[in-house]
Chains A and B, each alone.
Chain A
């Protein structure tokens, strides 16, 4: 299981970096999403994967301390997912607006010279 996740994280990070380096805005967006997902799975993996163990144990059951699942990574990932959901939603709308204005998907076309209207 660990090995599978490690390979998956590597793939997601690699694909994310590759897509960010492309010139298309849609690929930029996909790259950002891949990187975010990769980071989430990384936290999940490094928090320690345990199967079928309780996350919260009673104080009286201290002897079972080494057989419980750490609940913190889930909390962290949940927070990170919500945040990246909001950011992605914003990014999609922004890129759609830019596409409508510039009429191009190429990041190199985003260099309108100075226009003086503020």
Chain B
């Protein structure tokens, strides 16, 4: 089904960014444009998802070039759901930034760049062309470089060097992989590639090419031996920026892996084993790192690494139930990780620090907000009615089914460590009294009500989304079930892009 509206989520953010460039240095106008643009983005994304659910996979050929030759955009259930969740997280971050980002950063174009970043994310989810995916990745990283360095503090720039070097390296590996793939098959269209790759005689060469993709996406999504850039850079930018990065950027890597390994390189025995080993090691190293960190944002950075392992493990098992777990966890993780960094920003506004040793007394001072935050923390840990619980059920079930006991042990360890560090954080930050030798500078309390609402509302919005997913698990499981079937059996995707095969 050809539908030209599937690029709506990309264009909404493009136009928002352009309008904001026109309103350069008018920070108040930019804030309004950003809020409205993000809200429209959510509406368009909801419309796209409902359309895809009604009419099946939608495609669009750029400039009407027929499919294997031109660039094609494809909205299947996975892409459109991810676009919706990204838009939702984008809306929350956009609202939070209107108060959480200082005026100097806005003057230097924080908002336009933020919208270019969200545009890049939506484009990456919707494209059906492997080289176009590379271009969207570049849009994402160049925007993220600017967001990372905006403000120019020393720690920020130091983090940015590590972030930049590793991300450019990842892109180069990805580009090398694309070059070899084009040399072997003569095609860039992912659906076409999935057909042609089966006909190649030298499958060994295909395996090597797939490793280039694994390496590129592995750096981006912070998998075990390649994750070092993440904890040494994510704690440096402002919390709203860190929320976008932590919630969305590593997850694009996971999305790209899901797409490439389900469509083009069906994982063979070696790749599966490799992915399982990487998953286990990612979980173990991520949890060990989380155990020793006392700065909230460094702690969250390691938790990102730890939970990436859960999703990699799901891809490594590559059965329908395991992919259901991975996709469900992906949805949950975007919402919750974005929210965690927003919470870190709120705590920073309340206390002026993010070090657990000098924090305390938030529950006594702000009981209602603390309960809201507790809800998010419960979801992260995976308490039953909330969204973090269901995907783990699938992952455990499938890991037992196909006897991946090392992964089961890693899952238990990862979940337990998450519970432990979150419980410790709760008692240190919320329950403990303020240490006697610390002077707190509360910027949150004296703020006017409107600004306080702008800080708390995004957290509440994402918390509601988490609760909604948890309570409506039946609907979401059905959706995830369909997505996983589309990933295991890609014939419907190929058919939608290339037309009926004879």
User: Bound complex: CA of A43 vs CA of B188, how far in Å?
Assistant: 12
Stretch from A50-58, A61-69, A75-83 that touches the partner: A75-83
Given the interface pairs A32-B169, A43-B182, the reply to whether A97 lies near B164 with Cβ below 8 Å is no
**Which residues in A have their C-beta under 8 angstroms from that of B145?**
87, 90, 94
Q: Quick one: CB contact mask for A75-118 with B, threshold 8 Å, 1 for yes?
A: 01001100100110011001101100110000100111011111
Given the interface pairs A43-B182, A47-B183, the reply to whether A80 lies near B175 with Cβ below 8 Å is yes
Q: Out of A36, A42, A70, A112, which one reaches B154, CB within 8 Å?
A: A112
Given the interface pairs A47-B183, A98-B158, A101-B154, the reply to whether A83 lies near B138 with Cβ below 8 Å is yes
**Which residues in B have their C-beta under 8 angstroms from that of A79?**
131, 135
Q: Is B38 an interface residue (CB 8 A)?
A: no
Q: Quick one: CB contact mask for B321-355 with A, threshold 8 Å, 1 for yes?
A: 00000000000000000000000000010001111
Q: Is A72 an interface residue (CB 8 A)?
A: yes
Q: Out of B135, B235, B352, which one reaches A83, CB within 8 Å?
A: B135
**Which residues in A have their C-beta under 8 angstroms from that of B135?**
79, 83
Given the interface pairs A42-B176, A110-B162, the reply to whether A76 lies near B182 with Cβ below 8 Å is yes
* Number of CB contacts from chain A to chain B under 8 A: 102
Interface size on A, residues (CB 8 A): 40
On whether the beta carbons of B165 and A20 are closer than 8 Å, the reply is: yes
**Would you list which residues of chain A between 31 and 47 have a CB under 8 Å from chain B?**
32, 35-36, 38-39, 42-43, 45-47
Q: Taking the nearest CB of chain A, how far is it from the CB of B241, in angstroms?
A: 10
**Which residues in B have their C-beta under 8 angstroms from that of A80?**
175
User: Bound complex: CA of A73 vs CA of B413, how far in Å?
Assistant: 47
Q: Out of A101, A115, A117, which one reaches B157, CB within 8 Å?
A: A101
On whether the beta carbons of A32 and B168 are closer than 8 Å, the reply is: yes
Q: Taking the nearest CB of chain B, how far is it from the CB of A75, in angstroms?
A: 9
**Which residues in A have their C-beta under 8 angstroms from that of B194?**
none
In this complex, which of A47, A72, A73, A114 has the most chain B Cβ atoms within 10 angstroms of its Cβ? A114
On whether the beta carbons of A94 and B179 are closer than 8 Å, the reply is: no
Q: Out of A45, A94, A118, which one reaches B149, CB within 8 Å?
A: A94
On whether the beta carbons of B152 and A47 are closer than 8 Å, the reply is: no
**Which residues in A have their C-beta under 8 angstroms from that of B149?**
94, 97
Q: Which residue of B lies closest to A83 (CB)?
A: B138
Given the interface pairs A43-B182, A76-B131, the reply to whether A110 lies near B354 with Cβ below 8 Å is no
**Which residues in A have their C-beta under 8 angstroms from that of B353?**
116
User: Bound complex: CA of A86 vs CA of B135, how far in Å?
Assistant: 13
On whether the beta carbons of A110 and B158 are closer than 8 Å, the reply is: yes
Q: Taking the nearest CB of chain A, how far is it from the CB of B69, in angstroms?
A: 9
Q: Is B33 an interface residue (CB 8 A)?
A: no
Q: Is B370 an interface residue (CB 8 A)?
A: no
Q: Is B239 an interface residue (CB 8 A)?
A: yes
Q: Out of B161, B168, B188, B238, which one reaches A95, CB within 8 Å?
A: B161
On whether the beta carbons of B161 and A98 are closer than 8 Å, the reply is: yes
**Which residues in A have their C-beta under 8 angstroms from that of B176?**
38-39, 42
User: Bound complex: CA of A80 vs CA of B165, how far in Å?
Assistant: 17
Q: Is B180 an interface residue (CB 8 A)?
A: yes
Q: Which residue of A lies closest to B100 (CB)?
A: A118
Q: Is B77 an interface residue (CB 8 A)?
A: no
On whether the beta carbons of A39 and B172 are closer than 8 Å, the reply is: yes
Q: Taking the nearest CB of chain B, how far is it from the CB of A82, in angstroms?
A: 10
**Which residues in B have their C-beta under 8 angstroms from that of A76?**
131, 178-179, 182
Ranked nearest first, the 8 interchain pairs of A and B with the lowest CB-CB distance are A46-B183, A43-B179, A110-B158, A39-B175, A35-B172, A42-B179, A83-B138, A98-B157
- A-B pairs with beta carbons under 8 Å apart, 19 shown: A32-B169, A35-B169, A35-B172, A36-B168, A39-B175, A39-B179, A43-B175, A43-B182, A46-B179, A48-B183, A80-B175, A83-B135, A83-B138, A87-B168, A94-B161, A95-B161, A110-B162, A116-B353, A118-B348
Given A72-B188, A90-B142, A98-B161, 18 other A-B residues pairs in contact with their CB atoms under 8 A: A32-B165, A36-B175, A42-B176, A43-B175, A43-B178, A43-B183, A46-B182, A47-B183, A76-B178, A86-B142, A87-B141, A90-B146, A97-B152, A97-B157, A111-B158, A115-B155, A118-B239, A118-B348
